[in-house]
């Protein structure tokens, strides 16, 4: 029996032939990591998402709506800013999900105020920052389509409380 790594073919087998060198001085990319200079050639570039609304306009509308739906509550400025930032992130994810579900862009823009009511003010009042952050965290970890806010929109569509056109 021959020792491991040697064969009768005249050339001995080396693990580095199969997996490359483990030394840090190797200029080639390692087996598990692509070189940092270029994208993975096997994966297409993710398409850049183009929101339906400019950030400034969206933020102003979200701020106005939060002001209306939080009348009578004493909300510190830092909490208000955090809620607006979270609303913006959630709305972009919901918008992207609804567009991927083939709802028309015109319909989404036309009904955006109703959609915001369903998303952010299900009982007519603002939810807590903690709740909004939990929703966003869930979307980021498990997907928008599985989130409570997305399910609220779908339920509103099913109950015909909200109508969106498909393309």
Convert the pLDDT of each residue in 3-47 to its tens digit: 555 555 556 666 665 565 555 555 455 555 555 555 566 667 667
Task: Spell out the domain ranges in the chain.
Answer: 55-158
pLDDT of residue 51: 84
Q: Please give the sequence-ordered ranges of beta strands (E in DSSP) within 7-133, or none if there are none.
A: none
Given a cut of 90, is residue 137 above it in pLDDT? Answer: yes
Convert the pLDDT of each residue in 65-89 to its tens digit: 999 998 888 899 999 999 999 999 9
Claim: this prediction has a pTM higher than 0.95: no
């Amino acid at each position: 029996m021959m020792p491991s790594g040697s064969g009768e073919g005249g050339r001995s087998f080396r693990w580095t032939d199969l997996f490359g060198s483990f030394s840090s001085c190797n200029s080639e990319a390692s087996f598990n990591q692509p070189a940092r200079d270029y994208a993975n050639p096997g994966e297409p570039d993710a398409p850049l998402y183009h929101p339906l609304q400019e950030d400034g306009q969206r933020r102003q509308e979200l701020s106005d709506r939060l002001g209306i739906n939080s009348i009578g509550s004493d909300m510190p400025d830092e909490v208000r800013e955090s809620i607006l930032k979270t609303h913006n992130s959630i709305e972009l994810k919901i918008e992207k999900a609804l567009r991927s579900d083939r709802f028309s862009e015109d319909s989404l823009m036309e009904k955006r105020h109703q959609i915001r009511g369903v998303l952010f003010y299900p009982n007519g009042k603002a939810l807590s920052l903690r709740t909004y952050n939990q929703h966003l965290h869930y979307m980021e970890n498990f997907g928008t389509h599985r989130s409570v806010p997305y399910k609220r929109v779908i339920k509103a569509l099913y109950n015909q409380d909200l109508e969106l056109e498909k393309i």
